[in-house]
Structure 1
């Protein structure tokens, strides 16, 4: 069963393995399979579920809401996000303006079938809306009881500091950051993690298995596995491309002895690795089959000895991306249309 951790400087506990439906619900897998995956997560002790209004253009929220019907709401932590374009893509169907936030939270609650979300996250930083406007809107969402806590995703260290400062002035809690983080993608370690520790924010990390690359199923010189993320033309193949280099894939294969020594699969090793970081509250895992959920949960509570953590660093060497500037570099400079 899964362990639980406090989220940021708050009294909220979440499951350190959090179920996410970014690339699956409403797009890659059928609704009955998605529901089976959610029920497998619940059976494994997962209580935290992460989604976003943009996933499958709002369909993922609907699928998650349907899958959670009948569950005791107080026993769940439901997270969603706002920023990216949704709906028909009108001029105000995007960003972190007061208008878009207020309309988006109402839409998300309706689709999720709940009166409130436990965590409402700014999916990216909006360069075209004053941060004061965004934070005031979030404060009002919290005061209206529509969200209990506020978080952000892929914000820089300075943006997190300023967001927390304004949140405190306005009387609500900004407690989480949701960045990409894995053995191969460590760009948060130099700046985002220290800033987060400084202001009482913790990480809920996405893609801890590097979109499946760290499972070891992609072998240099061999055909791509049928039905894998790298063959998905609905967005998966594009997202995984940065890791699909022979030098990366070769190094990943060398991690097998480490996983074997710990009695873990490669995927479990990858999830357990991100949870060794004491600023990480949870690793988000997705699934296209219920059994994947049960397997990923086995990473909860695993302690990787320091010598094996060092071995992982030696094996991966210079294929690891560490540049802290990649957070800002990958952020939208203007609102997407």
Structure 2
């Protein structure tokens, strides 16, 4: 969640939510500051996840990337805004091809040894970015990335092609962002119906990758059918499907109000049946890019992750 009020934080904690995710570039640090205020008195009850790498200060030539200078500055600033002495999970917001991997990992190692960071992760990395980093960490004894914050949804399954098998092989858990596909899987989009006039969907659907209309409607039709079977909402079914996928450790939900939060929290405590999962898999399957479609032709030696 990019920001959370005290009341919503308590509601989340009561429902078993313990992890709150933010980043320095969310409202230029304001999100971290709000989270720091919201968790006062309950720091030991929550897991704080934050990120850095993207440009924070447009006027500072060093205010971007994963260099030693910028990471140390970013972590110290985040700790001050969060009003805490350590970050439970610190993630690189993106890959920095202009900084040696060795420099980045040695810096994170120093920050872990200093007690400022407990665990490290990445976000928006390609498969080779992540594997190279893990190899360097193994070579020099630096902390290995344990989390990959990644886009994954019923209408965005590219994660399955390479990053999911890599995560299984290397023990890296997925922290899923935009699990509802930029709001497309909230149940507000239906075949032949306009978007609600007051909906934020007008703004959000253009932010994510293009999704063909017919493909989206096919997935939503499958969600609607299962909603009738289960009595659950489209949103809850889409989130529950994700929570059952290999490597997925958690999903990041962003609720505009308490009712949306309640709806999202209703995605846990039950499971879709194997047949319902199969129907959703079938409705959302697309032909992957090469070489993944070729590898799928040899499931005996390249089985789908389970």
> Which residues of structure 2 form unaligned runs of 5+?
292-306
| Backbone CA RMSD of aligned residues | 2.1
The answer to whether the Cα contact below 8 Å between 2:184 and 2:201 also exists between their aligned partners in 1 is no
**Which residue of structure 2 aligns with residue 161 of structure 1?**
131
Structure 1 residue 301 displacement after superposition: 3.7
1:262-292, Cα deviation, whole Å (9 max, x unpaired): 2211000111111111311001111100122
The answer to whether the Cα contact below 8 Å between 2:154 and 2:219 also exists between their aligned partners in 1 is no
**Which residue of structure 1 aligns with residue 147 of structure 2?**
176
Structure 1 residue 50 displacement after superposition: 0.6
Does 1:90 pair with 2:52? no
Does 1:284 pair with 2:252? yes
Q: Which protein has greater RCO, CA pairs closer than 8 Å, 6+ apart?
A: 1
Aligned length: 290
> Which residues of structure 1 form unaligned runs of 5+?
1-19, 26-32, 326-337
In structure 2, do the counterparts of structure 1 residues 324 and 215 end up closer, same or farther at CA, with 3 Å as the change threshold? farther
Structure 1 residue 40 displacement after superposition: 2.2
**Which residue of structure 2 aligns with residue 147 of structure 1?**
117
**Which residue of structure 2 aligns with residue 5 of structure 1?**
none
**Which residue of structure 2 aligns with residue 296 of structure 1?**
264
Structure 1 residue 167 displacement after superposition: 2.5
1:185-219, Cα deviation, whole Å (9 max, x unpaired): 11111211111111111111111111211112023
Using structure 1 for the length normalisation, give the TM-score.
0.80
The answer to whether the Cα contact below 8 Å between 2:183 and 2:205 also exists between their aligned partners in 1 is no
- Tell me which of 181, 192, 201 is aligned to 1:210: 181
- Tell me which of 264, 278, 298 is aligned to 2:232: 264
3-state SS of 1:70 partner:
coil
3-state SS of 2:41 partner:
coil
**Which residue of structure 2 aligns with residue 312 of structure 1?**
280
- Tell me which of 99, 102, 108 is aligned to 1:129: 99
3-state SS of 2:84 partner:
coil
* Structure 1 residues 31-50: aligned runs within 5 Å: 34-50=5-21
3-state SS of 2:96 partner:
coil
Distance between the aligned counterparts of 1:113 and 1:217, measured in 2? 38
**Which residue of structure 1 aligns with residue 89 of structure 2?**
119
Structure 1 residue 112 displacement after superposition: 0.8
- Farther-moved stretch of structure 1 (156-165 vs 190-199): 156-165
Structure 1 residue 324 displacement after superposition: 8.2
**Which residue of structure 1 aligns with residue 243 of structure 2?**
275
Structure 1 residue 89 displacement after superposition: 4.1
Distance between the aligned counterparts of 2:51 and 2:288, measured in 1? 26
**Which residue of structure 2 aligns with residue 222 of structure 1?**
193
- Tell me which of 234, 243, 246 is aligned to 2:213: 246
In structure 2, do the counterparts of structure 1 residues 316 and 193 end up closer, same or farther at CA, with 3 Å as the change threshold? closer
Distance between the aligned counterparts of 2:76 and 2:143, measured in 1? 19
Structure 1 residue 323 displacement after superposition: 4.1
3-state SS of 2:11 partner:
helix
**Which residue of structure 2 aligns with residue 138 of structure 1?**
108
Structure 1 residue 66 displacement after superposition: 1.2
**Which residue of structure 2 aligns with residue 53 of structure 1?**
24
Using structure 2 for the length normalisation, give the TM-score.
0.88
In structure 2, do the counterparts of structure 1 residues 241 and 227 end up closer, same or farther at CA, with 3 Å as the change threshold? farther
3-state SS of 1:211 partner:
coil
The answer to whether the Cα contact below 8 Å between 2:127 and 2:166 also exists between their aligned partners in 1 is yes
Distance between the aligned counterparts of 1:148 and 1:67, measured in 2? 21
